[in-house]
Chains A and B, each alone.
Chain A
Amino acid sequence: MSELAVEVRGLRKTYGTVVAVGGIDLSVRRGEIFALIGPNGAGKTTTLEILEGHRRADAGHVRVLGKDPAKNEISFKGRIGIVLQSTSIQPYLTVEETIEQFRGYYPAPLPLDELIDIVGLQESRKKLVRRLSGGQQRRLDVAIGLAGDPELLFLDEPTTGFDPAARRSAWAMIRDLKSLGKTVLLTTHYMDEAQALADTVSIIRGGRIVAEGTPDELRAGQAETVISFRFTGSSADLPPAAAAAKFENGHAVLHTADPTTALYELTNWAKERGEELEALSVTPASLEDVYLGLAKDESN
């Protein structure tokens, strides 16, 4: 069995004159959580739907679990699980009935109780789908994506529209899937989501992959540290090492590759003026910063 769950070379897809995916390569290893991240319209969903068999590629080599998804083989569909971007479930069945219905489509489904436990819908088993909250419906959507005990699960923007607490528990759920040995390929436009979940992150913009690696690698490529503190004066007042700071919401925000010198100068400067560096924070660049940095590079 191949090490790779997904293997893509030179994938292209155009709609009329619009290039949705402009020749990308992807390699998703078995058992990892792989995040495809990018803004709306970057080509994430198109890519995912080609891998799921919903769309056909114009060109390129695509293998998912060793199969060509465009052939729409029944046996292939039994090995993958799909959660589409928009939740799409019959409104007039209960949670249990919906899961049972989808379990019935697969040769070797996961047990009903296990599915309900994984997505945490124990309290709502007998409820009609239409009475569930948006977040609960999304969880049910994941449960039916998992119903067939898939080797590979596609999650298209699984937490869009969630409140922060719901997102945290969805993340915990996705990590649990990994510990069950599943491969997860998800799309998101939240950097913190990719950072929190993914083993490998691929950043896609305008139908092209602009960066790929582990979250740590991507951040390492961006060697900057972010220093921020409350400040309402002008940059002329600041010491030389901090002169490049930007001002946001009454804070000075400094991206620097040399945090030691910057902090040394800043603390001396504040001490001489007898002031406190209020709300001081020193953080390594987040994936968000890497992402915004890439966006900036592209517009220049």
Chain B
Amino acid sequence: MALRQVGYENRSFWRNPAAAFFTFLLPLIFLVLFNSLFGDSELTIDGRDLDGSTFYVPGIVALAVVSACYTNMGMMVTISRDLGILKRVRGTPLPPWAYIFGRLAHAMLVSLLLVVIVVGVGAAAYGTDVPDNTLPGFAVTLMLGAVTFCALGLALTAVIPNADAAPAITNATILPLLFVSNVFIPLQDPPAWLAVVGDVFPVKHFAAALQTAFHPDTTGAGFEWGDLAVIAAWGVAGTALALRFFSWEPRR
């Protein structure tokens, strides 16, 4: 029943080709843009040297997961809620968890596809190393990140009053964070307070854990336990908030 729900979510998504296309296009635009601008530069992040494309490919992977999970979940679930679709489903015997599972699994599938595309383009166009020995760390980081950002997206819907406000609120909460989290721009000696902001929220840790997995010098399985712990803590918080405050009814 829950799996069928994933199927319907997927079908719905692909039936709106414009929305689907741009969901996939946006991260690719950023990938090409940033690599063209800064791909050749040598960077030093947290005392470690790496070249531009080794920074940007995992950065854009992080962006892809954040936008497919947090942004899309926040917006699409709010829109469904306002259309009364959530309330409609709530009146059927479908268990609530099965519906949420459908949305979650759909967002994760879109993320996965995006990650494959971004990593593929990165390897083909910029010669970025694809994680091999670090694949376990990469996969676990992705998985944890996707679940966490979905949970946070769901929790966010509780403070979004209506569908019209959804894009503004989701973007305002995530875009600034992406800028201070080593996703778009490498932070070289940021002001202390900005570094703290980045450290508190999960995006920077997510990008950092992915960058470790992509770094050619990383030995072992590529797990950044400290970063993963912060991401997991946000995931737990997001889930708790979503469970407490999630609303199936349109706000009036």
Residue numbers of A with Cβ under 8 A of B are 52-54, 74-75, 77-78, 80, 82, 84, 86-90, 92-93, 97, 101-102, 104-107, 128, 144, 148
Contacts and interface: CB of A to CB of B under 8 A. Distances in A.
Contact of B93 (A75, A84, A93, A144): A75
B188 interface: no
Task: Name which of B8, B16, B85, B91 has the most chain A CB atoms within 10 A of its CB.
Answer: B91
A295 B163 CA distance: 38
A52 B90 CA distance: 10
Nearest to A128: B15
B110 to A, nearest CB: 15
Is the contact region of chain A dominated by helix, strand, or loop, or is it mixed?
A: loop
19 contacts: A54-B91, A74-B93, A74-B95, A77-B92, A77-B93, A78-B93, A84-B87, A84-B88, A84-B91, A88-B83, A89-B85, A90-B80, A92-B12, A92-B16, A101-B4, A102-B92, A104-B1, A105-B93, A144-B88
B91 A52 contact: yes
A98 B29 CA distance: 35
Interface string B70-85: 0000000000100111
A105 B1 contact: yes
B249 interface: yes
Nearest to A86: B84
Given A54-B249, A104-B4, 20 more contacts: A53-B91, A54-B91, A74-B95, A77-B92, A77-B93, A78-B93, A80-B91, A88-B84, A89-B88, A90-B8, A90-B80, A92-B12, A92-B16, A93-B8, A93-B15, A97-B8, A97-B11, A105-B93, A105-B94, A106-B92
Interface string B135-169: 00000000000000000000000000000000000
Contacts of A75: 93
Contacts, number: 62
A77 B92 CA distance: 5
Contacts of B88: 82, 84, 88-89, 144
A106 B83 contact: no
A108 to B, nearest CB: 11
Contacts of B12: 90, 92-93
Interface residues of B, number: 22
Interface of B: 1, 4, 8, 11-13, 15-16, 80, 83-85, 87-95, 249
Is the contact region of chain B dominated by helix, strand, or loop, or is it mixed?
A: helix
Contacts of B94: 105
A67 to B, nearest CB: 13
A77 B1 CA distance: 16
Contacts of A84: 84, 87-88, 91
A149 to B, nearest CB: 12
A96 to B, nearest CB: 12
Contacts of B93: 74-75, 77-78, 105-107, 148
A84 B4 CA distance: 24
Contacts of A53: 91
Contacts of B15: 92-93, 128
A71 to B, nearest CB: 13
A273 B130 CA distance: 103
Contacts of B1: 104-105
Nearest to B12: A92
Given A84-B87, A88-B85, A104-B1, A93 B11 contact: yes
A139 to B, nearest CB: 15
Contact of B92 (A87, A88, A105): A105
Contacts of A106: 92-93
